[in-house]
Chain A
Amino acid sequence: MTGVPVTGERAGDAPLTWGQRAIWEAIERTVPDDHYFNFGRVVRLGARPASVDGARWALARLVERHESLRTLVVDGGQRLRNSGELPVAFGTDPDELLAELVAPRFDYAREWPLRAGLVTAGPEVTHIVMVFCHLAADGLGAEEAVRDLRLLLLRGEPRGSRPPQPLDIARWQQSPDGRRVAEEAAGHWEREHRRIPPTMFHLPSGAAAQPPIWRASLRSPAIDLAAQRIAVKHGTSTSNVLLTAVTALVARTTGHETVAMLPIVSNRFRADTRGAVSTMSQEGLFVLDVEKVRFDELLALARPAALRAYRSAYHDPADRARVLAEVSEDRGEPVHPYCCFNDMRFADHAVYRDDALIRRALGETSLTWPMSQDQLNCRFCVHLSGTMDVSVTADTRWLSRAEMEGFLRGLEDLLVEAALR
């Protein structure tokens, strides 16, 4: 492993941003298994391989451009380093190099939050592997970094404008303008927490598995096609269709008339956060009154509810914790939905799909159980990826494995039926 010299414009200290704090709290709860949060990207150079010097140069410029990739966590705050040496590993197999770099937990106070590796064939670099500490980037942030790295390799320069930096974001969040945004979001969290059921999955399943946490994953092209058709028909996005369908099914499964979901929101809507590499994603609070409302009417209600949820995602985690504690005290029981929704797809393009295509796709559905573990700080998490993998990760003490499978199959039925209606 040899280092690449990095010389940034500035150094500095600031409190953690809201997004950094949210992930930092999750990391602290997960220690020593916090390598769980590490994730990587393999950048394939394909027909335009780089030289080793060229790849090292591009990595250095990338880390200089995005301060997030030079930011450590020291004494509970963020510390931006201006210069140093970024270690670069070498390998011959991209998957092996990724696995090697992603496995160890990060030393948050000392280690660069980006681990880089070059896959070489002879003198040429065929792949660049980047592993991110989750404090330095979230999924969308990593995409921004990959895009800039490619531009650096191709054109010798990144995009023009200076990206939002976590030091500046943190300082704005502390400012009167930032506090105003935070207080509006806190108001939403408080109002909704006063009226939602204390938690969504409140009845013991009676069928806890060992270990208690399981993930069921449904590969269903039919869900993707049906969601697209519904989105076009009702003038909405597939993301809204799927969030609404999951919400409707949570109501059906739990018997609640009001459902609260926590969608993971990218928080890059504002001009001062767009293009940020730093972890910005946070949970928003999506609440829908589902009682006796037909699915197509629910879609219309979901749209403004989703806008409110997205806005509430840009909040100070300290405000949210305070509000939750106050409401729980007033209501005499803990209030927390423990029910989250993470749409990890990058594209949301809907096309009106024909009946035959959707029906035929039903034959391709398959269900797997890719994971089980001891701990989950939630009871029910839905993840969407690709076209289309829908998974439910649940605590079987509250939702049995049979119910998890029933949920996913029910989601497909609901969407296909609504699409073909």
Chain B
Amino acid sequence: MKERLAELVSESCDGQLTPAEVLAASVPLSYLGVTSLAQMRLIDAVEREYEVEIDLGGDVSFLDSVGGLADWLAAR
């Protein structure tokens, strides 16, 4: 799942990061230049692909890494 999520991150930032770079990241995605706008695209992509709704009202720090996203999706 992480590989697929990394592809979605890469697409969301118009390929400015490769999926490999996303997977290798040791800092939050925002430190790699994933802007809020790219993050909004990522949210849409994840919601479509996994048929989930991401509530932005609570703690959304899981959006800042593919590991966090994968854990969040696994817990659904």
Contacts and interface: CB of A to CB of B under 8 A. Distances in A.
A174 interface: no
Given A240-B36, A269-B37, A306-B36, A235 B30 contact: yes
A269 B11 CA distance: 12
B35 A237 contact: yes
A235 B37 contact: no
B40 A269 contact: yes
Given A270-B44, A274-B41, A348 B35 contact: yes
Contact of B40 (A311, A349, A350): A311
Given A235-B27, A235-B30, A307-B56, A271 B36 contact: no
A350 B44 contact: no
Contact of B57 (A235, A303, A308, A350): A308
Contacts, number: 51
A310 B31 contact: no
A307 B54 CA distance: 11
A269 B31 contact: no
Contacts of A236: 30, 36
Contacts of A266: 37
Given A303-B36, A307-B60, A311-B56, 7 more contacts: A235-B31, A236-B30, A236-B36, A237-B30, A269-B37, A304-B56, A306-B36
The residue in A235, A266, A348, A349 that gathers the most chain B C-beta atoms within 10 A of its C-beta is A235
A263 B41 CA distance: 18
A235 B30 CA distance: 5
Nearest to A232: B31
Across chains A and B, which 5 residue pairs bring their CB atoms closest together, nearest first? A235-B31, A269-B40, A237-B35, A235-B30, A270-B44
Contact of B41 (A237, A269, A349): A269
A239 interface: yes
B15 interface: no
Interface string A300-331: 00011011101100000000000000000000
Nearest to B57: A308
Interface string B52-72: 000011011001000000000
Contacts of B56: 304, 307-308, 311
A269 B43 contact: yes
B18 interface: no
7 contacts: A236-B36, A237-B37, A239-B36, A269-B44, A307-B40, A308-B57, A348-B37
B76 interface: no
A270 B33 CA distance: 20
Contacts of B27: 235
B40 A310 contact: yes
A12 B36 CA distance: 36
Interface string B2-18: 00000000000000000
Contacts of A304: 56, 59-60
Interface in A337-368: 348-350
A350 B36 CA distance: 13
Nearest to A350: B33
B40 to A, nearest CB: 4
A342 to B, nearest CB: 14
A235 B33 CA distance: 7
A295 B30 CA distance: 18
Given A235-B28, A235-B30, A236-B30, A307 B36 contact: yes
A268 to B, nearest CB: 9
B1 to A, nearest CB: 20
Nearest to A236: B30
A350 to B, nearest CB: 7
